[in-house]
Amino acid sequence: MNRNSIVDFSSLPVNVLFRILLENKTPLPKVFVALLANLSQKSDKECLAIIQQSKLVEILTTFKELVNSAVIDDLDVNDLLRQNFSNLQQGEQHLIAVLAFLQLLRSPGDAETPEEAEDLAQKIEDLKSLFRLTLFHSSIAIHLMSLRDEMQDLIDICPCHGCNARYICSIGWFIASQEAHNKDVFAANSN
């Protein structure tokens, strides 16, 4: 395989491409670009399946329940985040899920019927709301930004292959989410 060929990269399964990028110490912004290019080759249904198969939606749903019940302020949010976001393999899945969601938001739509298009639009709005109400809730976002900064400090000290991979897997999903949020991608009805 010619690693300089976009065609070769776009035909790889997204998780295989991700591992190749990690092995080559690819910086996080280039990881985003390569994975988004790969995900752009997938249908809306495939992107939605990636999102739904990720534990990210399950974790965020739990956080939403905690926020809605107003108990989030009484919990050690930092500990809660570390418990739910410390698994690097899940971090890989979270990153791919977030990027699949961003790709889905960019997609012109490929639903075959108006009902499918309406169902997909509702699922997208529900996911955008889930992101807004959890990752960007003040009680949660401040801790995630602190974790992001901590991981950035580690990669600045030691940019080796292992630390680069740990950085990307542990917090890449949040960085991608935060960049999208800063561009109002998760705003209601913005697609």
pLDDT over 50 (residue 103) = yes
pLDDT digits (tens, 9 = 90+) for 66-101: 888 888 777 788 888 888 888 888 999 999 999 999
Residue 178: the pLDDT is 94
Q: What is the secondary structure of the chain as a DSSP string? A: --TT-HHHHHHS-HHHHHHHHHHTT--HHHHHHHHHHHHTTS-HHHHHHHHHHSHHHHHHHHHHHHHHTT-GGGS-HHHHHHHHH--HHHHHHHHHHHHHHHHHHH-----SSHHHHHHHHHHHHHHHHHHHHTTTSHHHHHHHHHHHHHHHHHHHH--SHHHHHHHHHHHHHHHHHHHHHHTTTTSTT--
Reported confidence tier of residue 2, pLDDT bands at 50, 70, 90: very low
Over residues 103-114, mean pLDDT: 84
Domain segments of the chain as ranges = 6-182
pLDDT over 50 (residue 130) = yes
Mean pLDDT value across the chain: 87
H or E element that contains 77: helix 77-85
* Nearest by Cα to 172 from 180, 51, 1: 180
